[in-house]
Amino acid sequence: MLKKILIMSGLLIAGSVSAAETKDSKWSGDAELGYLKTTGNTETESLHLKGKIINDRNKWRHTATLEIVDKSDNNTTTAKRWYITGKSDYKIDDKSYLFVLLSYEDDEFSGYEYQTNEVFGYGYTVIKQEDLILALEAGAGARQSKPINASSTNEGIIRGAANLEWKISKTSTFNQLLSVDVGEDSTISRSASTLTMNIVGNLSAKISYSIKHTSDVPPAIEKKDTETIVTLVYKF
């Protein structure tokens, strides 16, 4: 399944590779390394790794992210999570766009072997100012889940999301991301609050707090997981 989602994510940005030779193609991204504290199904402190790459063209914007948490104490795994997303936006005009979103999550302590989402939808930038941007999204798709020691399930989902970016000053930016995926079997809500402060050049410090809530979970599994993350970010 991991191989499948990697292939699908690759296909999302494959069409933009040739764009590196065109004037309307711009590449950017960032890499993060830092400290992570989790509560919920895992109570641990560990290193946090995350990477993002963006290809922005005249009519398309492709984004791929990879997030890894892996920690062991005395040869015992205490936290292990992979979270991969691939997203393509087709720009209708300056504020409207269509999007395709694919995601794969493998969290050893969530009660699931994996969960994947495929969503198609519409986004609209409600506020687009120099220091403030607010985008809203709505879409529909499917979610596949594989509970541990149980058969996999496939359910339809409806997605709603909001993304706020506020440039507090020349060196500080606040981001708030909210998303809700409502399915036939469960509803998964995510919130991520982030404050990024530039240190020097392309190097920044970032503090973030995220919450994931799942309405229906396997037995003995917590519904809410939280992450507190402090990282150094290098933008390129």
Q: Do residues 69 and 36 lie in contact, with contact meaning Cβ atoms separated by under 8 Å?
A: yes
Position 156 scores a pLDDT of 96
Give kind and range of the element (H or E) at residue 14: helix 2-17
Position 22 scores a pLDDT of 55
Q: Among 20-24, 53-57, 80-84, name the most confident range.
A: 53-57
Counting the structural domains of the chain, the total is: 1
Position 36 scores a pLDDT of 75
Position 47 scores a pLDDT of 77
Computed from CA positions of residues 140, 82, 188, 126, in that sequence, does the dihedral angle turn out positive or negative? negative
Residue 154 belongs to domain spanning: 2-235
Q: What is the pTM of this model?
A: 0.83
Position 218 scores a pLDDT of 79
* CA atoms of 192 and 212, how far apart (whole Å): 9
CATH classification of the domain holding 82: 2.40.160.40
Position 147 scores a pLDDT of 84
Task: Give me the helices (H) in 105-228, please.
Answer: none
Position 79 scores a pLDDT of 59
> Which amino acid, one-letter code, is at 45?
E
Q: Residues of the chain with pLDDT > 90: what percent?
A: 62
Q: How far is CA 129 from CA 93, 99, 135, in A?
A: 16, 22, 12
pLDDT digits (tens, 9 = 90+) for 190-206: 999 999 999 999 999 99
Whether residue 46 is predicted with pLDDT greater than 70 in this model: the reply is yes
Lowest mean pLDDT segment, chosen from 33-42, 79-88, 117-126, 217-226: 33-42
* CA atoms of 80 and 84, how far apart (whole Å): 14
Whether residue 82 is predicted with pLDDT greater than 80 in this model: the reply is yes
Position 103 scores a pLDDT of 95
Question: Where does the pLDDT of residue 16 fall: very low under 50, low under 70, confident under 90, or very high at 90 and above?
Answer: very low
Q: Do residues 196 and 233 lie in contact, with contact meaning Cβ atoms separated by under 8 Å?
A: yes
* CA atoms of 142 and 215, how far apart (whole Å): 17
Question: Which residues, at least 6 apart from 202, have a Cβ–Cβ distance to it below 8 Å?
Answer: 234, 235, 236
Stretch 213-220: mean pLDDT: 85
pLDDT digits (tens, 9 = 90+) for 142-167: 999 988 888 888 999 999 999 999 99
Q: How far is CA 109 from CA 14, 38, 94, 179, in A?
A: 33, 12, 42, 22
* CA atoms of 108 and 100, how far apart (whole Å): 27
Question: Where does the pLDDT of residue 72 fall: very low under 50, low under 70, confident under 90, or very high at 90 and above?
Answer: low
* CA atoms of 223 and 214, how far apart (whole Å): 5
* CA atoms of 164 and 128, how far apart (whole Å): 10
